[in-house]
Amino acid sequence: MIEQTTISIAALIATIITVWALLKIKKHGLAYISCRKNHMAHGCCHDLRIDETSTYSEEELSLYSIGNLHVGKFGGTLNTLGTGIDAAERTCMLQQDFGIDNRDRAIKKLKWLSTAPSQLTFHFAYEAYLKGKEGENWLRNSKELADSKELCDECIMQMKKLKRQYKEIMNAGIADSEYELGLLGVIAWDAGQLNFISRACMEQGYINEDECMICLDAAYKMSHEAFSNWKDFAHSYALGFALYGDATCIAYMAEQLLNAKQSPWSYIKWE
């Protein structure tokens, strides 16, 4: 009886998954399934890719490569203005990961990222984290957050993520102490996303090159006002990633980008 019930439940789950997949195929096309498979495979085991024919100067690449932790994670090319990500996967990635499927949504997302929203949230979340058990109450009673329940809830969620991920972040070598976490912040995560998403949206035709360059300039300025070297920038970038996923994997990718001779981060001066 138990065996029969188990088989029935397994069959039901299989049916639900099949229906879900068919609905996704109907909505997004057959490229959806292969895209999600490839997306899930992206991680720290990727070989770094460059375009051997690229003729961009180091000055240009210093601007373009701010978002390279995203580019590397998705298997794109590290030394080009475009991300080099397959068109079908790029479409899927923008829709599923960033909620972008048209120009209006692209513009809205990029404007939001230009305000460094994750760093704002992290600032409050980090202060709350340091207060231990009183952290959540401190956030709920904060005068600065009183006018926005949504922002307050986001800060609480970020604080909880920081608590869950703290040990893994330390073990991955992203930071050495609570103090260093606060110094790093996640502004590089905001800048990296702004850079990467604007380039992907340009490739997608949602924004033009001039609009993309405005975003790249903003991401560059955001990064260089906060950091004085690629290493600190990379660790802040990885910290932002680590709060949403595998800290060990993304720290490994960051180290690859910092040390591999083909990576712009390893040979371009931070100025």
User: pLDDT tens for residues 115-171?
Assistant: 999 999 999 999 999 999 999 999 999 999 999 999 999 999 999 999 999 999 999
Tell me what the pLDDT averaged over the chain comes to: 86
| Span 7-31, average pLDDT | 40
User: Rounded to whole angstroms, how far apart are CA atoms 254 and 267?
Assistant: 14
Which whole number is the average pLDDT over 36-54? 65
What pLDDT score was predicted for residue 102? 98
Q: What is the pLDDT of residue 35?
A: 42
Query: With bands split at pLDDT 50, 70 and 90, how would you rate the model's confidence at 18?
Result: very low
Residue of 38 and 214 predicted with greater confidence: 214
Render pLDDT for 72-83 as a digit per residue (tens, 0 to 9): 999 999 999 999
**Alpha helices per DSSP H over the chain:** 2-28, 31-41, 58-64, 68-73, 87-98, 103-113, 117-130, 135-140, 149-171, 178-184, 187-204, 209-226, 230-242, 247-259, 264-267
> Residue 213 and residue 215: Cα distance in Å, rounded?
5
Closest CA to 218 of 63, 106, 98: 63
Q: Which residues contact 116 (CB under 8 A, 6 or more apart)?
A: 187, 190, 191, 222
pTM of this structure: 0.83
Which residue matches tokens 């990296």? 192
Q: What is the mean pLDDT of residues 86-103?
A: 96
Over residues 81-93, the mean pLDDT reads: 95
Of 29-33, 62-66, 171-175, 192-196, the least confident: 29-33
